[in-house]
Amino acid sequence: MRGGWWCLVLTGCVGSAPAREIEVATVIARNDEVMIRSRPALVAGRYQRMASNAFDFYRGNLALFRQDWELGRSSRSGFLGVTPPVWGLADPHPENFGILIAADGVAAIEPNDFDSADRVPFLFDVRRLVGGLAVGARLANPQLSTAVLGEAAARSYAATLTALASGAAPQRATASSDPIAADLFRRSQRDLTNRAELLFLTEVKEGQRRFRRGVIDPEEPTQFLADVPPEIVAQVPEALRRVQGAPGFEVLDVVREFGSGVASWARVRLLVLVQGPTEAPGDDVILEVKELPESMVAGWYRPALPASDTPARVESAARRAWFRPDADPRFFATTWLGLPVLVRTESEAFKSVRVRRWEGDRASLTSLTTLAEWTGALLARVHAQSEPETVRAIVTQLERGPDVFAAEQGAFAEAHSAQVLEDFAHFQAALTRLGPTLGITQDPRERAPDLASRLFGDPTP
């Protein structure tokens, strides 16, 4: 027993691991404690995913980012001043941007994850973005200067926000010639044309389309589709009540999707196959019903709340952030079976930025710098939807020294991304040392109620 028997009754048994390793593991586990106690296997799966590569770790470490912010490690700046909070994204890492196809049929790059959206200091979002860009760049092309990427994103952010505050019209990112964006648009158009999600996820038997079951992509063996208990399937139309008015609406099939995402890996995620405008199986539509988390920065600016509840927080954030509010025409948030959930289009044409695709010319300095610029500009466009006096206050801060601001974010990106790689190693070590749920175990007496248990499901393929 570590530390001897007296650890049970006495103290002095401080963990022997490095202090930072202890902190990384504790902050993440404490943040997930409620989930671990109700669905430990799912959280274990999430941690395995986070331990698989450094960028997945970054995607799942927002609680640690908040901790570092609150303890003054990530929040030091000469440009925060007394700026009011913006309507922010809270987790705008590069993989949370991607193509959406709006109701007008136009594909555009937009922020596509609002799980943590909330009132935040503008710099919190900027640093989450430049940190993510730098971590991705370190993995894709270790020779690159991550500071340059941070500077590029910050410079673009400042210029765009200043222009928007001066009355410039917001821009819609509908096309780009840089390799990363061009790759997104090209693959999106390809998959839109051939309805790739129907090809990948469904099959037609006896004229009726249904989801496949099991592992869909052998390269993603932990990601699979499974049956949903009939009593839960019967409840699904209730979750979709805001789209039920569409002509021909009919739920054709429902599956539980396991192993998707990182931060939301442990959350309930259903795919719902809905009858399209005609009875032909070729125009069926897939919707995703995804459980939403509480805001990761809940409690900041208390007692003011960003919205009355989680669904309202997430949906209003998306409507504000997008160039047009129907950037995903089927997007809405609601409460279902007591859970806050998000309903959105599941389409292979909705391509997200993926760090693993940063290779070849997409991993060049030019390409990543351009990515940094347009993600910085998009973030500025999101922040510009905040109150005018808030935007003016930020611009006033930025105008004190745009070059210094850019350099400050560049330096942060470099230092923070190095810290993230160290934290990633700490996380892996902690997972080995403490076990699959980082030392928190479920008491059998606190298992989730029957219906919830069946909804959470078993993440074993």
Partner 1 sequence: MMLTLLSLVLAQADVDGGFEPLAVDAGVVASASPDAGAGESGPADARGEGALTWTPIVDAFGEFQARFPRDAAPNNTFTVPRVQLGVQADWRGASGRVLLEGVYATQGGALIGVAGDSVVVRIREAWGGYRWRFLEAQLGLIPTLVVPEVERAFLHRELSPDGLEAYRVKAPADFGGLLRGHLPAGYGWVGVSVTNGEGYTSRELNTGKNVELAAAVHPLPRGVLEPLTVLGFAMVGTSGPSSARANRFGGGALWQGKTLGLGVTAASVQGWLDDGSRQALLVQGFARAELFGRLLLAARVHLFNRDTTQPDQVLELIGGVGVKVEPVELFLAVHRTSLSGAALTALPGVDSTDVRLVVRVRWPPLYP
Query: Site residues for partner 1, window 102-121 (CB under 8 A)?
Result: 119-121
Q: Map residues 132-171 to x or -, x wherever contact with partner 1 holds by CB under 8 A.
A: ----------------------------------------
Q: Which is nearer to partner 1, 117 or 297 (CB)?
A: 297
DSSP class of residue 175 equals -
Question: How many beta carbons lie within 10 A of that of residue 273, not counting itself?
Answer: 24
Decide: helix, strand or coil at residue 285.
Answer: strand
- Residue 119 or residue 195: which is nearer to partner 1 going by CB? 119
Please report where in the chains the tokens 């900041």 appear, as a residue.
300
Q: Which residue has the tokens 């790059």?
A: 109
Q: Distance between CA 366 and CA 77 in Å, rounded?
A: 27
Helix (H, G, I), strand (E, B) or coil at 85: coil
Task: Pick the binder of partner 1 from 40, 45, 60, 85 (CB under 8 A).
Answer: 85
CA–CA dist 263, 256 (Å, integer):
17
Note whether 447 binds partner 1 by CB under 8 A.
no
Stretch of 80-88, 185-193, 341-349, 355-363 lying at the interface with partner 1 (CB under 8 A): 80-88
* Least distance CB 112 / partner 1 (angstroms): 21
Least distance to partner 1 from the beta carbon of 73, Å?
Answer: 8
* Residue (67 or 316) nearer to partner 1, CB: 67
Q: How far apart are CA 214 and CA 224, in angstroms?
A: 5
H or E element, residue 345: strand 339-345
Dist CA 10 CA 315 (whole Å): 50
The region of 72-80, 145-153, 196-204, 256-264 touching partner 1 under the rule CB under 8 A is: 72-80
82 binds partner 1 (CB under 8 A): yes
Least gap, CB of 313 to partner 1 (angstroms): 11
* Residue whose tokens read 């209003």: 316
> CB of residue 72 vs partner 1: minimum separation in angstroms?
3
Q: Name the minimum Å distance from CB 412 to partner 1.
A: 12
Calculated CA dihedral for residues 111, 117, 123, 124, nearest 10 degrees: -110
> What residues between 381 and 420 interact with partner 1 by CB under 8 A?
387
Residue nearer to partner 1 on the CB measure, 421 or 451 = 451
Residues 287-316 interacting with partner 1 (rule: CB under 8 A):
292-294, 297-305, 308-310
Q: Is residue 33 near partner 1 by the rule CB under 8 A?
A: yes
Residue closer to partner 1 by CB (options 248, 449) is 449
Q: Which of the ranges 130-138, 189-197, 417-425, 427-435 carries the binding residues for partner 1, by CB under 8 A? A: 427-435
Going from the C-alpha of 84 to that of each of 120, 353, 381, 388, 392, the distances in angstroms are 9, 30, 17, 11, 10
CA distance 245 to 273: 16
Q: Residue 61: phi, psi to the nearest 5?
A: -110, 25
> Which one among 3, 170, 237, 401 touches partner 1, defined by CB under 8 A?
3
The 317-346 contact track toward partner 1, x by CB under 8 A, reads: ------------------x-xxxx------
Q: Is position 431 an interface residue for partner 1 (rule: CB under 8 A)?
A: no
Question: Which pair of tokens denotes residue 372?
Answer: 């940094």
Contacts of 22 (CB under 8 A, 6+ apart): 15, 430
Nearer CB in complex with partner 1: 128/330:
128
Is 445 a binder of partner 1 (CB under 8 A)?
A: no
Total residues contacting partner 1 by CB under 8 A comes to: 77
- Residue owning tokens 């973030």: 379
Percent helix, strand, coil in the chain, to 5, is: 45, 15, 40
Residue type, 346: E
> Judged by CB under 8 A, which of 27, 50, 153, 289 binds partner 1?
27
